[in-house]
Amino acid sequence: MTIICHVVKVGVDTVSDEIPERSEIIRSSIITILLAAIFLVIAMAFWIWSAPGVTSPISALNDINPYITILLEIFIMLGFYVFATVTIINLRLYLTKVRAGWLELILMLIIVGAMSWLMFGSWVGGASIALSIGFIGYLYLLQD
């Protein structure tokens, strides 16, 4: 008696199974560096514009609704975290052919959390950290 078994693979492979070509890593790194820099420049502009006595678009937004400015600051810092983290992951993969670990993710979380806390206050800092932890959870789910 012969038993024939078929192995059926459903879904996609995990992220760790494939390593992209070096040219793809370089192109992706350049794009993410530019996007991280854009988000950082926007965050710094919001920080400068939110100084007291400065006439800026922030004061116009605060006149409409002060929570709009807070939400924009949170999402700007989240965008910076996402693109800076992806840049670090890509650069480590390019240089060492090893994917970045938890240390890089947590260090970036601490850096971006401290930046947003110092630039915009505790509410924006705490919300940025919470959303960034959500992004870390997303990355973890991509691994499995």
Amino acid at 89: I
What is the maximum alpha-carbon separation in the chain? 88
The encoded tokens of residue 109 equal 């979380």
pLDDT of residue 7: 47
State pTM to two decimals: 0.80
pLDDT tens string, the chain, 144 residues long: the values are 555 544 445 554 444 556 778 888 889 999 999 999 999 999 999 898 887 777 778 888 888 888 998 999 999 999 999 999 999 988 888 888 777 778 888 999 999 999 999 999 999 999 999 999 999 998 888 876
Closest CA relative to residue 75, chosen from 43, 41, 117: 43
Look at residue 48 and give its three-state secondary structure.
helix
Contacts (Cβ under 8 Å, ≥6 apart) of 72: 46, 61
